[in-house]
Amino acid sequence: MLNKELEKALNDQIKNELYAAYLYLSMSAYFTAENLEGFAHWMRMQREEEIAHAMKIFDFVQDRDGRIDLQALDKPQSDFESPLAVMEAALGHEQKVTQRINELYELAVKHKDYPTQTLLQWFVTEQVEEEATAKQLVDQLKLVGDNSAALLMLDRELGVRTTAE
């Protein structure tokens, strides 16, 4: 049986993961409006990945006889100054997610909930990858600067992503 404090925290994380999907969809819309379809595609893949993360927690809560309590999502940011600003926002968001996952893990340790710790270890590892990827794209966009040709090359590269994970 899942501890009630952990159950609530996991439900909160389901909301956070779904918000991330909503945020990445908003970012995809921004890139589409800017005619950067590769970036838009990449963000849609991120959206799918975040939904998969939410469902991983959703299924776990149910498998542990917990109760799902879906919550309202906040409106995501939709206006951005530049592709770099979008990726910096994505990196900042991933850093917040990492902090939340770490706090959840600490809560699971506090309650000596080993199955939840095992689940969250997957997320701890995943967040290392998420932050590294976002940081790499921020760094690449900084290198691109105002070079339109380089931006289009990066856009083309991002457009070939085939999987959400």
* Predicted confidence band of residue 164 (pLDDT cuts 50, 70, 90): low
Q: For the chain, give the percent of residues with pLDDT over 90.
A: 96
Query: E-strand spans in the chain?
Result: none
Write down the pLDDT at residue 30. Answer: 98
Alpha-carbon gap, residue 101 to 120, rounded angstroms: 7
Give the pLDDT confidence of 82-140 residue by residue, as tens digits: 999 999 999 999 999 999 999 999 999 999 999 999 999 999 999 999 999 999 999 99
Q: How far apart are CA 21 and CA 49, in angstroms?
A: 8
CATH classification (class only), 4-158: mainly alpha
3-state helix, strand, coil in the chain (%, to 5): 75, 0, 25
Q: Model confidence over 50-72: pLDDT tens digits?
A: 999 999 999 999 999 999 999 99
Q: At a CB cut-off of 8 Å and minimum separation 6, what does 3 contact?
A: 111, 113
Q: Classify 162 as helix, strand or coil.
A: coil
Which value, in Å, is the radius of gyration of the alpha carbons in the chain?
A: 17
In the predicted structure, residue 39 carries a pLDDT above the cut 90:
yes
Q: Is 11 strand, coil or helix? A: helix
Domain ranges of the chain: 4-158
Mean pLDDT of 37-59: 97
Model pTM above 0.85: yes
